[in-house]
Structure 1
């Protein structure tokens, strides 16, 4: 069973697994609330527990000696779905070592896998509901590009259930501060969204959401399998001949199994050749270098995978492919 927990009234209840990722009205207060996999929800609770335990240990050490004694950091791989800045830096050495054995140097920014914000939550909402919420992403991107302060999300032509879910998603964007306002107009049957102008939000809607979705999908699958991991986003590679490349998502499972995920929410064809060469250069199986293309049709994904010995998937097919790998 899945779990729903309202962030407004704290109502907690079980839901069907088929509803995972959906935004539903809280049965008690009506607040838009996401349905989580039970394992994911428990992992988040454990994250908070161990963070509190770590802080108690640190404060106890400080109070006992008068000087702060560094407490051992929480194991970054014990809670795979929660990664903070400190954990990110602890995960980097295994990744650097793996690439080093292949005469490739790497640059990794810790903040790119910091899940203390809400990028991961919203990315999962988008990836699991893309056919429905794509109109919201498209209109926000268009407004950002044109420098408009707001955009309108039409609800007409939608079924009552889809209109409710779309309205809930817009409200969730506001709750997480991805927009500055979300105003439902029942007479005109639309929702007005006021646009955030922060660069991180612009980048998120311009495609980084898919990187977060791919990363969290991989980490959740690793969690379910009880695997240890090291992970990074936007990994900059320098090959032995000086050529420089960037990998969107890299996850190293149990220190041995590498998974490279390239994410494209727009055009992707011009990047195929370079990643075929990268797969060969790193000695990867075609199953382990994944091209995740938002909205890619299944038939197209199968055809491209056969042509190029890379694994082409949509956001819908990513989890199934990861299940076969792990």
Structure 2
């Protein structure tokens, strides 16, 4: 059978196949119209239906990611009584919503570990402690990484070769880390000037000593800056992002402030082989050079300045991280 639909009044009727292509008068209003093959007519209707459906879905997605959309807010300000070093305030889906929208608007799927920004533990305090004297903490971290790598569960550290001042500071560092439960046991033999440490087997502690401490250091530096300036933001640690071509990347520290994304990649070991990979990632995210920061311990300030001039990334040491973050939040980020 064929079908005849009046374009004037909408009357719909079946007609014989020999009337396909013939102009017929509508029995209801008298307007002339052409009869069509039923299968072809339904096929055209379905094409229009699915095209309209795709357009509606696209508009919905734009509405979700629009910075002018109302609830929920894309960024949030900190409460007046916020304690950066002891809070679960940031560990919510709502707090991460601004970042999710920013990535979704660029067709990037983001997966967040909400607990990664929970500061009620001692990871943040320990990271700041290790940052106070990078030369001394670097020696301790090197010993700990070696022990974990070799599956050795204890360390003996002689302080007799150090000056009295340095030995006291080294011992104080180990004692403080033990008070934060980063060691299973701690003992100082004063007569022998010997520190005995039993390592914690917990994976979270091992990850912290193998490089996570630097991520916490960068995260807390940015968080303190946002609190000091009373900025609205959305933040995450260890965010996993998947691009349209299914490339997966993990971002160490990300903050979204005034629709400007700042990404901090933290490298506590050799990183030069990753420079091209990080450069490609910066371009894929559409970030300016000052928005993609590489914070590395395996270089000095002079090397960081030189590498920043050579490559499309901003290189800093833990000591020069804060000045660059302050610059990144002043005015529009340069391309």
> The TM-score by the shorter chain falls in which range?
0.7 to 0.9
Write out aligned runs for 1:37-48 (5 A).
none
Offset at residue 80 of structure 1 (A): 7.1
Say yes or no: does 1:258 pair with 2:257: no
User: Deviation string for 1:171-205 (max 9, x for gaps)?
Assistant: 11110100011111122212111111111111111
State the alpha-carbon separation in 2 of the partners of residues 86 and 253 from structure 1: 15
Say yes or no: does 1:300 pair with 2:303: yes
Residue 94 of structure 1: aligned partner? 98
The partner residue of 2:284 within 278, 281, 295 is 281
Residue 133 of structure 2: aligned partner? 129
Q: Residue 281 of structure 1: SS of its match in structure 2? A: helix
Offset at residue 130 of structure 1 (A): 1.5
Change (3 A) 1:76 1:227: closer
Say yes or no: does 1:191 pair with 2:192: no
Offset at residue 76 of structure 1 (A): 6.7
State the alpha-carbon separation in 1 of the partners of residues 314 and 161 from structure 2: 36
State the alpha-carbon separation in 2 of the partners of residues 76 and 169 from structure 1: 34
User: Deviation string for 1:90-127 (max 9, x for gaps)?
Assistant: 21110010111211110001011111110111011112
State the alpha-carbon separation in 1 of the partners of residues 167 and 185 from structure 2: 18
Offset at residue 86 of structure 1 (A): 6.3
Residue 182 of structure 2: aligned partner? 178
Q: Residue 138 of structure 1: SS of its match in structure 2? A: helix
State the alpha-carbon separation in 2 of the partners of residues 266 and 174 from structure 1: 24
Q: Residue 153 of structure 1: SS of its match in structure 2? A: strand
User: Deviation string for 1:203-242 (max 9, x for gaps)?
Assistant: 1111111111110011112222221221111111111121
Residue 77 of structure 1: aligned partner? 78
Residue 214 of structure 2: aligned partner? 210
Give unmatched runs, 5+ long, in structure 1.
1-74
State the alpha-carbon separation in 2 of the partners of residues 325 and 288 from structure 1: 7
Matched-pair contact (CA < 8 Å) for 1:143–1:149: yes
Larger Rg: 2
TM (normalized to structure 1)?
A: 0.73
Q: Residue 287 of structure 1: SS of its match in structure 2? A: helix
Give unmatched runs, 5+ long, in structure 2.
1-75, 330-335
Matched-pair contact (CA < 8 Å) for 1:80–1:223: no
Residue 64 of structure 1: aligned partner? none
Q: Residue 92 of structure 2: SS of its match in structure 1? A: helix
Change (3 A) 1:138 1:228: same
Write out aligned runs for 1:14-29 (5 A).
none
Change (3 A) 1:243 1:149: closer
User: Deviation string for 1:133-152 (max 9, x for gaps)?
Assistant: 21211112212222222102
State the alpha-carbon separation in 2 of the partners of residues 86 and 133 from structure 1: 28
Residue 228 of structure 1: aligned partner? 232
Residue 148 of structure 2: aligned partner? 144
State the alpha-carbon separation in 2 of the partners of residues 76 and 179 from structure 1: 36
State the alpha-carbon separation in 1 of the partners of residues 151 and 77 from structure 2: 40
Tell me how large the CA RMSD over aligned residues is: 1.7
TM (normalized to structure 2)?
A: 0.71
State the alpha-carbon separation in 2 of the partners of residues 111 and 190 from structure 1: 37
- The list of structure 1 runs, each at least 4 consecutive aligned residues, that deviate by more than 3 angstroms after superposition, is 85-88
Count how many residue pairs are aligned between Structure 1 and Structure 2: 251
Q: Which range moved further: 75-84 or 314-323?
A: 75-84
